[in-house]
Every structure is written in C-alpha cells, then in structure tokens.
C-alpha cells in the first residue's frame, strides 16, 4: 500500500530552506519543499536517487520519460539527462508554452553524503526568452524508527511564479512516481 499521509503542498520557508539552497546558485529566489514517506530501506531509496537505472525508473513527471547520459554522483560530478514528453496532454502543454517536447538538462553535484543528503544544481536553459540560470536542490533522507524513509526535497524557485508552479507540479508528480515505485 502506498502511504501519502505526510505528503505536503509545496511551501516556502526562506529563513530555513533559502539558506540551504541559495548559496549553491548565489541567488535568493526562495525555495519550496516537498516531502514523502517511502516504504523502503534507505539503501534502496539512495540507489533510486544515485544510479542510472534507479533514476530512469521514476525521474520526471507523469507523461515523461528520462534517459541519463551522465551521472557522476560525487562532489563536482556532472549529471546530464534527456527528458521527453510522451503523453499527449504533456506534449500539448509544452507546445502551448513554446517549449521543446524533449530537453537536455545538465547539472552538478555539490555535496554527496551517502544515504543521507544530496545537494545539486541544474541549469534551466529551455525557457523561451529567458537566459539560462541554475536551480539548486537539496535532497535529504531520514530513516524512520518504524521502518521506511522520510524524503525531504528543497528546491529553489524559478524565475517567476508561473514557472515555479510548473516546477512544483513536476517535482510533486515525479516524487509520487517514486512513492508508487517503492510501494
């Protein structure tokens, strides 16, 4: 059974979270936070976040597939993936926004604390009329006493409210896919 009782609506807490994410990018746009409870071992959850096979099994919102070209999980290590819209609704949405239906995203791991924490940046370079800019993210895994893992993801807001809302929906959808995967 999939438990979503601790699922939260994305919130902003710039005093705590902004301090964690903003230094990675040198910007202070604020952050939003998503949490999930995963019924799996911390080792399994870590593998799903740090291996090509693991990430490709859930990364990306519903209606998208993702293929990782590069994944160097170490401080300074690079990541690169191609996310492609496959669902008709997603394709239509992206086309209406003037965004390609397939994009390559690049990023860098800043901190890697095995089975505990990842800090990374990704470059948003697919937005029409917007110069590329980095987006920071922090992923924390907290082992629960009764078993399972509490996942906390803090993501830097995008350049405006509309794109931040899109990012929140995308991250929320892909984290739901992760919850569904681990059952």
Beta carbons of 182 and 45 less than 8 angstroms apart = yes
Instruction: Give the pLDDT of residue 135.
Output: 95
Number of structural domains in the chain: 1
Q: How far is CA 140 from the centre of its chain?
A: 12
Domain span including residue 34: 14-61+111-182
For 138, other C-beta atoms within 10 Å of its C-beta total 21
CATH code for position 152: 3.30.530.20
6 is a domain residue: no
79 is a domain residue: no
37 is a domain residue: yes
102 is a domain residue: no
72 is a domain residue: no
Per-residue pLDDT tens digits of the chain, which is 183 residues long: 222 223 333 333 333 344 344 445 556 789 999 999 999 999 999 999 999 999 999 999 999 999 999 999 999 999 999 999 999 999 998 999 888 999 999 999 999 999 999 999 999 998 888 999 999 999 999 999 999 999 999 999 999 999 899 999 999 999 999 999 997
How far apart (Å, rounded) are the C-alpha atoms in residues 181 and 183?
5
Structure tokens at 128: 């029409």
55 is a domain residue: yes
Q: Residue 80: which of 112, 104, 100 has the closest Cα?
A: 104
Instruction: Give the pLDDT of residue 31.
Output: 94
49 is a domain residue: yes
pTM (2 decimals)?
A: 0.83
Instruction: Give the pLDDT of residue 183.
Output: 76
In the chain, where do the E strands start and end?
31-38, 64-71, 78-85, 102-113, 117-124, 133-143, 149-156
**161-182 vs 42-50: helix axis angle to the nearest 10?**
130
86 is a domain residue: no
3-class DSSP state of 4? coil
């Amino acid at each position: 059974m999939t438990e979503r009782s601790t699922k939260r609506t994305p919130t902003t807490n710039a005093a705590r979270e902004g301090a964690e994410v903003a230094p990675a990018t040198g910007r202070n746009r604020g952050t939003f936070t998503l949490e999930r409870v995963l019924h799996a071992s911390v080792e399994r959850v870590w593998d799903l976040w740090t291996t090509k096979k693991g990430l490709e099994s859930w990364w990306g919102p519903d209606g998208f597939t993702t293929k990782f070209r590069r994944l160097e999980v170490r401080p300074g290590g690079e990541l690169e993936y191609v996310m492609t819209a496959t669902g008709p609704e997603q394709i239509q949405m992206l086309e209406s926004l003037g965004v390609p239906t397939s994009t390559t995203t690049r990023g860098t791991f800043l901190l890697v604390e095995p089975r505990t924490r990842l800090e990374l940046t990704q470059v948003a370079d697919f937005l029409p009329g917007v110069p590329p800019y980095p987006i920071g993210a922090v992923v924390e895994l907290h082992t629960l006493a009764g078993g399972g893992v509490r996942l906390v993801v803090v993501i830097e807001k995008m350049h405006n409210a509309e794109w931040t809302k899109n990012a929140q929906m995308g991250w929320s959808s892909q984290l739901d896919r992760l919850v569904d995967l681990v059952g």
